[in-house]
Amino acid sequence: MSDILTINSPLLRWEKPIRDPWYKRFIRRLPCLCCGRAWGIEAAHFGPHGVGQKASDLHTLPLCHLCHRLYHKLGPVRFAEVHRLDVWGTIAKLNQFYREKLAA
Domains of the chain (ranges; CATH) run 19-102 (1.10.30)
Q: What does the pLDDT read at residue 50? A: 63
In this prediction the pTM is 0.79
- Calculate the CA 39 to chain-centre distance: 17
CA gap 102, 9 in Å, rounded:
26
pLDDT digits (tens, 9 = 90+) for 26-78: 999 999 999 999 999 999 999 876 666 778 899 999 999 999 999 999 999 99
Spatial CB neighbours of 71, under 8 Å, sequence gap ≥ 6 = 44, 63, 79
Cβ–Cβ < 8 Å for 104, 32 = no
More confident residue, 48 or 5: 48
pLDDT at 94: 95
In the chain the first and final C-alpha atoms are separated, in Å, by: 37
